[in-house]
């Protein structure tokens, strides 16, 4: 059965372009369109699509408000189209907070310089979000601030790590990652004894805003990593979009190196590249965590980390937006502990 899609945009031209691209995939059927957020809500209730593509800036009702209301009345996987600007980044992060599952640049040349590749990637995203084989977890909108109910208690069978056994925590994620990272990192106390590396698939124009947002929400310090950063406790370093983050072991410190991505590297930043650089530095004892995301980035890096004695955790299927990256490390037999998202932050605090 074809994946049924509702296309929402105030531009008739863009609705036509998206619809025509999706129509080239025999597994996708565009069942309708809407030209503003309010009409999107009405059409969603009427047509019951499997996936919605949504613009952010629209008349009558904007995309963020529409996402929030759709997730209240009929939760549906929503793919946002975003401009790659600072304002676009902030709006997209707000849309993800409201419940959207994923986003793509609105300018197809920003997805890929190859037009056919950009079209393929759009269809692929829609197929994954609409596939019953790929587990899509539909969330309620997250709270603006940390005034939510206490997290569920950690099951007695889950033992917290002894943090003195580790030098670093490294977290890799993709689709669903912005909300998942917020959920995990807001649990860590201001005196957290370890540095944290964050590798989130995200465009270069988004990572500064995302780091700033996390820093405002968390007790630990969150910053976009820059070349030469010396790793410090209670600080999380977000890999800059479009580049690669690696670790260099100096005699007295661990230093971050930021480099340009090489041709052929699919993910920018790549979890595999960061993980492998840590594995190459045998003196670093690592706790690696794979959160929600499409694909298998991080699996090979986790394999190399395991060979050097690292501990690997993975988010469980039920709490993932898309169970791709965690599934890859689990199927490869590399995982020491599988946890629901709500328990990861509390468990990461370590033993009292």
* 3-state DSSP assignment of residue 318: helix
Beta strands in the chain (DSSP E): 3-8, 28-34, 51-55, 78-82, 102-105, 168-173, 196-200, 221-224, 235-238, 243-249, 254-260, 286-290, 311-315, 337-339
State how beta strands 78-82 and 51-55 pair.
parallel
Distance CA 28, CA 283 (A): 49
DSSP state of 210: H
How far, in Å, CA of 209 to CA of 194, rounded? 23
Question: How many other CB atoms are there within 10 angstroms of residue 277's CB atom?
Answer: 22
Which tokens is 303 given?
A: 């394999």
CA distances from 90 to 45, 211, 213, 273 (A): 28, 11, 9, 27
Tell me, yes or no, if 201 is annotated catalytic. Answer: yes
Length of the chain: 352
**Tokens 């059927």 — which residue?**
29
197 dihedral zone (left: phi>0; alpha: psi -120 to 50; beta): beta
Exactly one of 36, 272, 297, 346 is catalytic; name it: 297
174 is catalytic: yes
Catalytic residue among 10, 97, 201, 316: 201
What secondary structure letter does DSSP report for 253? -
Which residue among the candidates 66, 174, 205, 270 is catalytic per the annotation? 174
Active site residues: 174, 201, 297
């Amino acid at each position: 059965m074809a994946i049924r899609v509702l296309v929402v945009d105030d531009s008739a031209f863009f609705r036509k372009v998206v619809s025509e691209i999706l129509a080239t995939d025999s597994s996708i059927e565009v069942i309708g369109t809407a030209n503003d957020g309010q009409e999107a809500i009405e059409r969603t209730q009427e047509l019951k699509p499997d996936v919605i593509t949504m613009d952010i800036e629209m008349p009558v009702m904007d995309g963020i408000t529409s996402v929030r209301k759709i997730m209240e009345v009929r939760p549906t996987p929503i793919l946002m189209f975003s401009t790659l600007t600072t304002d676009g980044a902030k709006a997209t992060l707000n849309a993800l907070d409201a419940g959207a599952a994923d986003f793509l640049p609105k300018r197809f040349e920003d997805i890929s310089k190859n037009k056919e590749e950009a079209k393929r990637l759009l269809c692929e995203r829609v197929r994954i979000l609409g596939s019953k084989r790929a587990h899509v977890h539909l969330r309620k909108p997250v709270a603006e601030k940390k005034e939510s109910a206490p997290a569920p208690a950690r099951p007695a069978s889950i033992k917290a790590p002894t943090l003195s056994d580790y030098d670093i925590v490294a977290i890799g994620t993709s689709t669903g990652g912005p909300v998942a990272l917020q959920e995990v990192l807001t649990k860590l106390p201001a005196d957290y004894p370890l540095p944290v590396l964050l590798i989130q698939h995200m465009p270069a124009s988004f990572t500064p805003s995302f780091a700033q947002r996390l820093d405002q929400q968390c007790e630990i310090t969150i910053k976009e990593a820059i070349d030469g950063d010396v790793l410090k406790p209670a600080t999380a370093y977000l890999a800059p979009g479009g580049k690669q983050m690696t670790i260099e072991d100096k005699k007295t410190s661990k230093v971050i190196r930021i480099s340009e991505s090489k041709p052929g590297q699919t993910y920018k930043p790549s979890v595999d590249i960061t993980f492998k650089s840590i594995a190459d530095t045998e003196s670093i004892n690592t706790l690696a965590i794979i959160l929600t995301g499409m694909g298998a980035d991080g699996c090979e890096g986790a394999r190399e980390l395991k060979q050097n004695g690292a501990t690997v955790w993975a988010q469980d299927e039920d709490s993932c937006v898309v169970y791709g990256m965690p599934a890859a490390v689990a199927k490869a037999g590399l995982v020491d502990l599988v946890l629901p998202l709500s328990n990861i932050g509390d468990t990461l605090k370590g033993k009292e």
